Structures are given as C-alpha cells and as structure tokens.
Structure 1
C-alpha cells in the first residue's frame, strides 16, 4: 500500500507519432526537428525499473531545465521550452553511443562504479591506476571521465576506458576529445554551484547527441538526483568519520536498500518498505529546493489529465 495520497505517474499515451520509450522518459516527434519528452515518476537502478516515486518526474524535468540554462554558455543543449512540469520540448538529436560519467569521489554500489571494482581488488579501473588504501566516498585527486556503453534492452552498461571509445569506433578521436573536455567543464560548474547550495556533487552521468545540423549538444538530463550522486556538505565529514554513508539527496539510498537484499539487477525485484519511496520523494524535493533556491511547486495529480491540457494549450496536441 502506498503511503502517498495518489498513485505515481508511470504511464502516458499521447496521440503523437514516433513514440520512443526509455526507463524513465517517453518521447514523440514534433515536426522533423523537435521531440516532446515526458518524464515519468519511474525510478530505475541496476538497469531495471524498480518503482514509481511521486513527484520524481517533475523534479527531474524542472531541475534538468534549470541546470541546462546554467550551463548553456559551455555547451548548447536540447531545451526549447517546458510546456508542463513533466514535459520538455526539445531539439531532436541522435544520441552518441557512449554514456559519459564524470567522477569526483570514489563511491558507488553498482558493478560499474569505481568503488564497486576497487573494493573487489581492482586497481586499474576505466584505464586509470588507483593506489591502495583509498576509502569509500572520499575525493579523487582529479575529476575523471569513466565512459560506459549504453545498455541495450535487458542488458547492463559496460565499462570502457577513454581510449577504447575511439579504438572500438564508437566515436572519432576529435569528437571524443571535445565530449570529454565539455563534460569535465560542465561537471566543474556543477560542483561550484552545488557547493554554493551546501551540497557535494560527487559524480554524474551526461548524454550527448548530434542534431540534424551536425551540432553537438547536451541532452537527456543534467545534475539531477537520478543522474548524479548529491550529498549534504554539512554532515559529510562527520558521517565519514563515524563510518557512515554520506547523507544523500539522490537515489543511492534506493540502490543500497536493494543491494542489502542481495539484488543487483538479476531476477525478481524484491519488495522494500514503503518508507524507502516516501523518503526518496522527500530527498528529490530537497535537492531541487537547495539547488534552485526556490520552493518546489507540486503539479496536480493525476498527471496525464494536467499534461494533456497543458500540451493542448501549448499547441503540441
């Protein structure tokens, strides 16, 4: 039984062409060079959809738009407009076949996380050599790019070295160099803004795409609790000293809850207490408010009715 007063927004059907579904988002074609992207409340981890979390989709959509605006001087992005709290009108782009993860701390519980591999005894990870004696959740000497392949349906992301991106023909050398430079610069901006909000941006994932005109742009989402690990700065040192995990404002607590049950993406999805999901909603909203400096204005539920009305008003339906 859900502790919320309404069901999370997990499904949507719109009378638009060329529907494409991801774990969290669905998109449709608007003309030849635009796409309407709707962000649901679905939460994914371990490359599986685990549940629906109320207001999560709205936080992701609006916070990503906020971040896109604050990094547009570094790299163009796909935002055209935000016609609804859960929807984005975007420039159409072909995604690059590489997910670009930038890490500022050694952390994580998944098999592709640096800490996951380091804790199993690996010292050469993603093409970088790590010394013995590193502690979980501590800063890395430098921000690093750790690419992965994009998971296919039912599969998992596969770690790559930066050199393998070019060696395997996923991207040419010049484009990959541009992507890495942009990713590190955007991450640096994110770290600075998060610090001003009393937060630590520990790591994040970026996706890039090429428009029909051949422009490289940032797509998907940026510095959200879904794509990043975000920690509270004021309790960070104390919690590490006590041997505890950082106080997070992302979905890492969900990953840990499932990992503690022995689940890492294979087999039936186990049940976790309802409190895990209500706490996740609260963390996402706190992240939004701390970063943007504005109160979260919850959109009306059920979402499909509100969404349809707003898209009609915007001339998109």
Structure 2
C-alpha cells in the first residue's frame, strides 16, 4: 500500500495498477488551512453521502467508484476504491444562489467568473439560471484557487473539453438541486472534480455533493438579504472569520468543543434530510 498524496481532508493510496483508494479523514480545513481539531465521523459522512449521490447521478455522468467494500478494514466506511484517471486541472463550480465568494464578486462587479448577473439581487437570492463559475486547481502551498472565465478554461483544456465540463457541471447541479428541493433542502452551490480516461471519457471523481464541497440551506430558513444558516462547512468558516484574531495562515486555531458538536450536528442533519436515512 503506497501513500501517493495527503490532501487537506483525503489521503490517496495505491495498491493495484489503475486503481486508487481515497480515504476521507475527520480533518476540516478553512481558507486552505487544516485546523488542528477534527470533527468526529466527518470522514464517514463525506464518504457515505458521496456514494449516495454518485448512485443517484450515475446516469448523468459516470463516476470513478469501483467499490466501497473492497478497501482495508481499518478504513471501512470512509474509503472508496476508484479508477485512476487523468484529473482535469479545473475546479468546476455551479452556483444557483448568491453566497460566499460568488456573492462578493457579484456585489463588487455584477459578474461571477466573467458571467454577467442581473442587477438588483441581494445576498442569498436565487439566480435566474445556475451558472458555471470555475476556478483554478491550485495546491495550498502554491496559493489559492482563482476564478476563471469559460474562455480561460478553454485555453487550459481546449474548447471541446471545456464545453463538456460546463455542461456536465450544470446538469449535475440541476439534477441534484431538484432532488434536494423535494427534501426541503436548497443546494446553493457545489464543486465537482472530473477526470478523463485514456479513451477520452469524462468521469466524475473525488467527492460528490458533500457538506464540504457544497453549500446547503434548509428551505424553511431561507431569507434573502444577508448571511444564511448553513448546514455545511460554512458554519466553521463563519466561526473562523468571526474570531477576528486569526489571519487565515497556518497554524489554524483550535475549534471549541461546542463548535465541533454543532458542526457535526449540522452534517448529520443534512445527511439525514437529503438521504432519508438515519445516521448511525
């Protein structure tokens, strides 16, 4: 078993040609900094929710999953055996509502990633149509992900692949948002990563629609005009930002026990509402 990469949250191993094992940890990162305090069961929740979404969306875009059972026993429940792919070096983001960096960009320029957005919207508003707002895929040690226009994506990966990435990202978002809506959940935005097989097939990789890679709001909480109540990693981001004493560089601050507990509660609540299953 060879460790190939240790990411902010996931570790990547290889034990067979053409296959990888993705192991999700309980680590949590904000502003590209891994905080020293884990969130109990987070790795299992990310893995289980990803698998649920991979299954629901398999007819939209094939995914990299080989097995969630054929993994070493010590990682059971938080690991996925998957296909090794040529990873596309673009973070593919779909936004259906104004929040986070999307809201900040709109408030300052009226655009997000070069996409013109109608005037007069407020923070938390629903966009007329979901938009594709990609970013660079930058290692934390090299800086932060930066917004890209569609033309810039085309320059990096070629026009044909860029079009496939945009179409797949938006269709995955639309399908997932419709599923979530039936369960009283608003899928605000989400990030996808894709890989390509040797014969050029586009494959959905990494994770899918977890509370780490997506923003989720409960429908009953939605109140455009300010910061919304997030059931995702935004809760930890907001806590870190509101400290007022951390400059967003390593080392990150310890997370208080009550924030850890509330973060875990929100992850569990969203998992249960989306899937209809009870977390155990």
TM-score by length of 1: 0.81
Please say which structure displays the higher CA radius of gyration: 1
Matches within 5 A, 1:37-76: 37-50=22-35, 51-76=37-62
How far did residue 274 of structure 1 move? 2.1
Indicate yes or no: 2:190 matched with 1:204. Answer: yes
8 Å CA contact 2:3, 2:11 repeated in 1: no
Match of 1:4 in 2: none
Q: Report the secondary structure of 1:200's partner residue.
A: strand
Alignment partner, residue 218 of structure 1: 204
Q: Describe the shift of the 1:282–1:71 C-alpha distance in structure 2 as closer, same or farther (beyond 3 A).
A: same
Structure 1 counterpart of 2:73: none
Farther off after superposition, 52-61 or 124-133 = 124-133
CA offset at residue 145 of structure 1? Answer: 0.5
1:252 aligns with 2:239: no
DSSP-derived class of the 2:134 partner? strand
Asked if 2 retains the 8 angstrom alpha-carbon contact of 1:96 and 1:207, the reply is yes
Once the two structures are superposed, the pairs formed by residues 167-206 of structure 1 within 5 Å of their partners are 167=155, 170-206=156-192
Q: Give 1:264 shift.
A: 6.1
Please state how far the C-alpha of 1:162 moved relative to its aligned partner: 0.9
- Alignment partner of 1:99 is 2:91: yes
Q: What is the DSSP-based 3-state SS (H/G/I as helix, E as strand, rest coil) of the residue aligned with 1:209?
A: strand
Match of 2:249 in 1: 266
Mapping for residues 295-306 of structure 1, pairs under 5 Å: 295-297=278-280
Is contact 1:92-1:212 (8 Å) kept? Answer: no
How far is the alpha carbon of 1:47 from its aligned partner?
A: 1.3
Q: Which runs of 5+ in 1 are unaligned?
A: 1-15, 298-317
Distance, in Å, in 2 between the alignment partners of 1:291 and 1:186 is: 16
| Residue of structure 1 in register with 2:21 after alignment | 36
| Partner of residue 120, structure 2 | 133
Helix, strand or coil for the counterpart of 1:158?
A: coil
Q: For residue 273 of structure 2, what is the aligned residue in structure 1?
A: 290
**Is 1:80 the equivalent of 2:61?**
no
**Cα drift, residue 267 of structure 1:** 5.1
- Give the superposed CA RMSD: 1.7
Is residue 166 from structure 1 mapped to residue 154 from structure 2 by the alignment?
Answer: yes
Consecutive unaligned residues of structure 2, counting only runs of 5 or more, are 70-75
- In 1, the alpha carbon distance for the partners of 2:19 and 2:106 equals 42
Residue deviations 1:154-175 (CA, integer Å, cap 9, x gap): 22101111111113xx211111
Distance 1:186 1:116 in 2: 24
Of 219, 225, 237, the residue aligned with 1:233 is: 219
> Number of matched residues?
271
Alpha carbons 1:33, 1:212 under 8 Å: kept: no
Structure 1 residue 288: Cα displacement = 1.1
User: Contact 2:124–2:226 at 8 Å: present in 1 too?
Assistant: no
Task: Look up the SS of the partner of 1:259 in the other structure.
Answer: helix
Comparing 17-26 with 56-65, which one deviates more in the overlay? 17-26
1:73-124 Cα distance to aligned partner (Å, 9 max, x none): 011101111122111011111210000010000111xxxx1112233x2223
Secondary structure of 1:42 counterpart: coil
